[in-house]
Amino acid sequence: MSRLVVVSNRVAPIHEGEATAGGLAAGVMDALRQSGGLWFGWSGRTLPQSVVPPDSLTPGSPPAVACSGPVTLYTTDLTQRDYDEYYKGFSNSTLWPTMHYQISLARFEHQDYLGYQRVNRHFAVSLAALLKEDDVIWVHDYHLMLLATALREIGVRNRIGFFLHVPFPASSVFSTIPVHAELGRGLATFDLIGFQTEGDQRAFSNYMREELQAETCPEGHLQLGHRVVRTGVYPIGVEADPLRAEAIRGRDDPAICDYKGRLDQRALIMSVERLDYSKGLRQRFSAFERFLVQCPEWRRQVEYLQIAPPSRSDVEAYQTIRRELEGEAGRINGRFAELDWTPLRYLNRSFPRDQLMPLYALAAVGLVTPLRDGMNLVAKEYVAAQDPEDPGVLILSQFAGAARELDGAVRVNPHDEAGMAYAMKIALQMPVAEKRDRHASMMRSLRTNSLDAWRDRFLFDLRLAEAGLSAAA
């Protein structure tokens, strides 16, 4: 069997027990642990610009290596300028807001796009030196849309697949990016493009037809000039049984026992996400406030725990949302708190998974209400961590990719604060028989769309796809 080579900007911390930064790193690490392989990405370190010659592609040292079981991790540093232009700039100030329909927050600077092209080329050159002839390359996410183009330009002939973890927006939204056509053509260079949902796949196909004049072939693929562009839908999953086992193990953790004692029979509503404007925290805080106004009988009976580790803190839009939420959390607590009750516990730090799982299991309600989300693994983890005999209720935004699968959730529109407040009341009062039915139905879907299925289905299709050069004949 050919070796699997995964490429992503963010790689998981190699040591057990450390909190991962986001779902991509968590999901890819779990998927790779099973299959083994090589994982290439950014080290998370930046070098001062002075150590790199002005037009050099490769910052100084060769990639660093670490091993975690069957996974060999190669990481490369970026320069401060790379970080500013490629990561903070084009990836997270242009692409991220646009892919999440927040075009009023999107900023485009041509210089940032040049940095994005440069880092994609740098990844290609560093990776090419590590490749064997029959390696299968699986590239992840919006930071690396131009990687197949860069690899082909330097003569790499291996199969190259791409998986987009974030939503693909409507054609009219994606085309607000001044360089959208180059990105679209870059994506078309991959041998297979995977999406989280059918909606994302459809939006991409529409974009390719409307803006790049691609045509639909009789077999259903897209045709762009001489190239056949293959796409598929592969929802990322979780490993349900190990997560439940972690939830059970963690019940005896002293910090968890202590917190359970402090809750003192109060019902726990819990949310977990990176502090990101796409996650809908502001609207959710307001919905919780409405719930306390409209359901005074629940005051003192409930605590809302919001875990929100800071993310991309040097991007202005993230600083703004952080300031706003600090103000709102203080205001809501100031309005409702009593000597012996604080309604909203807002924590700006990350938790390792072995603590998150028992916390999920304690929570009567998992509140997951992003404005847009590619998938949202927290929603799936919350379901997996529950006791099937006495499960909690998931309240889930209709705009999370996970909503396509988790039909037992109480579904909400994150722009409808009154609707979310009502959903909290419904969830807290739900009879146990209904909670069990809903949970069982969601568990069936977690088992069908498992993490193994995500990896195996994508790689099966990629191995079938013709290698780039023959497809472009």
Ligand X SMILES: O=P(O)(O)OC[C@H]1O[C@H](O[C@H]2O[C@H](CO)[C@@H](O)[C@H](O)[C@H]2O)[C@H](O)[C@@H](O)[C@@H]1O
Ligand Y SMILES: O=c1ccn([C@@H]2O[C@H](COP(=O)(O)OP(=O)(O)O)[C@@H](O)[C@H]2O)c(=O)[nH]1
Question: Between residues 318 and 336, which has the closer beta carbon with respect to ligand X?
Answer: 318
- 279 contributes a contact to ligand X by CB under 6 A: no
Residue 351's binding partner out of ligand Y, ligand X, none, with CB under 5 to 8 Å set by partner kind: ligand Y
Query: Which one of the spans 321-329, 330-338, 367-375, 421-429 is the region binding ligand X (CB under 6 A)?
Result: 367-375
| x/- map, 83-112, ligand X, by CB under 6 A | ------------------------------
Query: Which one of the spans 257-265, 313-321, 369-377, 412-420 is the region binding ligand X (CB under 6 A)?
Result: 369-377
Residue 166's binding partner out of ligand Y, ligand X, none, with CB under 5 to 8 Å set by partner kind: ligand X
Residue 20's binding partner out of ligand X, ligand Y, none, with CB under 5 to 8 Å set by partner kind: ligand Y
Q: Which residues contact 232 (CB under 8 A, 6 or more apart)?
A: 192, 193, 194, 195, 201, 457, 458, 461
Residue 118's binding partner out of ligand Y, ligand X, none, with CB under 5 to 8 Å set by partner kind: none
Dist CA 399 CA 255 (whole Å): 34
Q: Which residues contact 188 (CB under 8 A, 6 or more apart)?
A: 208, 212, 214, 222, 224, 227, 229
> Which two structure tokens, joined as six digits, stand for 342?
């604080």
- Binding-site member from 118, 121, 122, 165 for ligand X (CB under 6 A): 165
Dist CA 181 CA 211 (whole Å): 7
Tokens 């560093």 correspond to 126
> How far apart are CB 164 and ligand Y at their closest, in Å?
13
Per CB under 6 A, residues contacting ligand Y are 19-20, 22-24, 26, 272-274, 307, 309, 350-351, 353, 356, 375-378, 381
Catalytic residue among 100, 122, 140, 165: 165
| x/- map, 208-247, ligand X, by CB under 6 A | ----------------------------x-----------
Q: Which residues contact 40 (CB under 8 A, 6 or more apart)?
A: 5, 6, 7, 11, 63, 73, 74, 75, 76, 123, 126, 127, 130
Residue 10's binding partner out of ligand Y, ligand X, none, with CB under 5 to 8 Å set by partner kind: ligand X
Q: Does residue 452 carry a catalytic annotation?
A: no
Q: Does residue 221 carry a catalytic annotation?
A: no
- Residues constituting the chain: 473
Residues 385-403 as b/e (b if ≥16 CB within 10 A, e otherwise) read: bbeeeebbbbbbbebbbbb
**Helix-then-strand count for the chain, H and E:** 18, 17
> Which residue type does 134 have?
D
DSSP 8-class letter at 20? P
**Catalytic site residues?**
165, 373
Task: Kindly list the residues in this chain that would bind ligand X in the complex (CB under 6 A).
Answer: 10, 21-25, 27, 141, 165-166, 236, 311-312, 373-377
